[in-house]
Structure 1
Amino acid sequence: MTKREFCAELREKLSGLTQTQIDEWVSFYGEIIDDRVEEGVSEEEAISAMGTVDEIVMLILREVPLSKLVKEKIKPKRRLRAWEIVLLALGSPIWLSLLIAAFAVAVALYASVCSIIVSLWAVFGSLVGCAVGGVAAGVFCFCFGFIPSGLVFIAGALVCAGLSIFMFFGCREATKGILWLTKKTVLGIKKCFVGRKERA
């Protein structure tokens, strides 16, 4: 792939961004290619070292706020005709309610997943609290001569402490998972806003 082909494909796949942003990113990567060529590397090798165009687009999307993509997407490219405005007004009770319902479902699903994470951390906190409380109760029993009861409390505290260690690692991985899922979801939404040419 030559620099011209690379820049053309990158420009096409960034079509959801503003023209200024597209020009800046294409110019940025074009300069990188030029710098590598000046170092004695061929255009094909320089482009290959940067990765595929799709990979570069994903890197760019991580830097672009979702709000800017949405704003650019919903901004009309031309003035709406009278019949289009009428259709939008008449259909608004349907498409607006569907849009709100879809948004509510998405938020509810995400909130449910987050509530599971919070619940897991709450269980971890409870186990830690039981471990600390068990040790305190065991020491108290030992001080007043209730040896059997003290042993039971200490044993229970050790069990809770052991479970809390496993629970901590589980909670940590679950939290990492939800953060990864959130990033992938946002990135996927961003991807829907770019790479598609608008019809005139």
Structure 2
Amino acid sequence: MSKQEFLGALYNGLSGLPKEDIENSVQFYSEMIDDRMDEGMTENEAVEDIGSVNEIIQQILSESSLPKLVKRTVSKKHDWKVWEIVLLAVGSPIWFPLLLTAIVIVLTVYIVIWSVVLSFYAADFSLAVSGIFTLVSTVAYAFTSNANIFAMLVLIGGAFVCAGLSILSFFGINQITKGMVFVSKKIWIWIKSLFIRKEEV
């Protein structure tokens, strides 16, 4: 495949994205090909070394924002048949509420999950504050006239227990958060993939 064929296929494969994004991508890969040719490769070798144009298109689309992908999908030319338009209009009282409900459910689940994670962090913060407050209270209690050594030891023990639990739970919550970020990314990638149609160029 020649450089022009590659760039033409890339341009066509990204159609529907903002013009500036397409031109930036085409220019970037044009310069990559030129750099390889400057190193002594032939034009075909340079193009082949970059990789499959289909995979590059899929990668660029997967890295594009969701609004751009939605706009691209909507703007794609499609010759609507009369029966499709009629079916779409007649079925709208059914499919539109269902679609809206699905979106709301997904968003609600997402918000609830992250609310639980934030609650864990709030509880952990409360433990840390309780430990500090208990330690400060113990010091203040030591200077009172009716200070009891046994009560002071209990308070100090409680402060260290709170501090220890706070530290341990922080590491556990941190791992949960990392897992949630990973899952969230996977869900986001899956949602974006719904708007990326695999096309052979």
TM-score exceeds 0.5:
yes
Match of 2:31 in 1: 31
Which SS does the other structure have where 2:196 is aligned? coil
CA distance in structure 1 between the aligned counterparts of 2:184 and 2:16, rounded to whole angstroms: 21
TM-score, normalised to structure 2, is: 0.76
2:135 partner amino acid: V
Greater RCO (CA < 8 Å, at least 6 residues apart): 1
Which SS does the other structure have where 2:40 is aligned? coil
> Does the 8 Å CA contact 2:16/2:76 hold for their aligned counterparts?
no
Match of 2:139 in 1: 139
> What is the percentage of aligned positions where both structures have the same residue?
38
| Residue-pair matches, total | 196
Determine which of 190, 193, 198 is the counterpart of 2:192.
190
Aligned counterparts, 1:1-200, within 5 A:
14=14, 17=17, 21-22=21-22, 24-41=24-41, 44=45, 48=49, 54=55, 57-58=58-59, 61-62=62-63, 64-75=64-75, 77-78=77-78, 80=80, 82-144=82-144, 145-196=147-198
> Does the 8 Å CA contact 1:3/1:47 hold for their aligned counterparts?
no
Gaps of 5+ in 2: none
Q: 1:17: Cα distance to partner?
A: 3.7
Q: 1:186: Cα distance to partner?
A: 2.2
- RMSD of Structure 2 on Structure 1 (CA): 3.3
Post-superposition Cα deviations, 1:72-114, rounded to whole Å, max 9, x if no partner, equal 2123625755544332221001110110121122112211210
Which SS does the other structure have where 2:117 is aligned? helix
Post-superposition Cα deviations, 1:169-192, rounded to whole Å, max 9, x if no partner, equal 223333333333333322332222
> Does the 8 Å CA contact 1:14/1:195 hold for their aligned counterparts?
no
> Does the 8 Å CA contact 2:15/2:22 hold for their aligned counterparts?
yes
Summarize the Cα distance change of 1:103–1:68 in structure 2 as closer, same or farther, 3 Å threshold.
same
CA distance in structure 2 between the aligned counterparts of 1:55 and 1:150, rounded to whole angstroms: 67
Which SS does the other structure have where 1:194 is aligned? coil
CA distance in structure 2 between the aligned counterparts of 1:69 and 1:126, rounded to whole angstroms: 43
TM-score, normalised to structure 1, is: 0.77
> Does the 8 Å CA contact 2:13/2:57 hold for their aligned counterparts?
no
Post-superposition Cα deviations, 1:145-175, rounded to whole Å, max 9, x if no partner, equal 2211111111111111111112222233333
CA distance in structure 2 between the aligned counterparts of 1:12 and 1:76, rounded to whole angstroms: 12
CA distance in structure 2 between the aligned counterparts of 1:44 and 1:15, rounded to whole angstroms: 26
Gaps of 5+ in 1: none
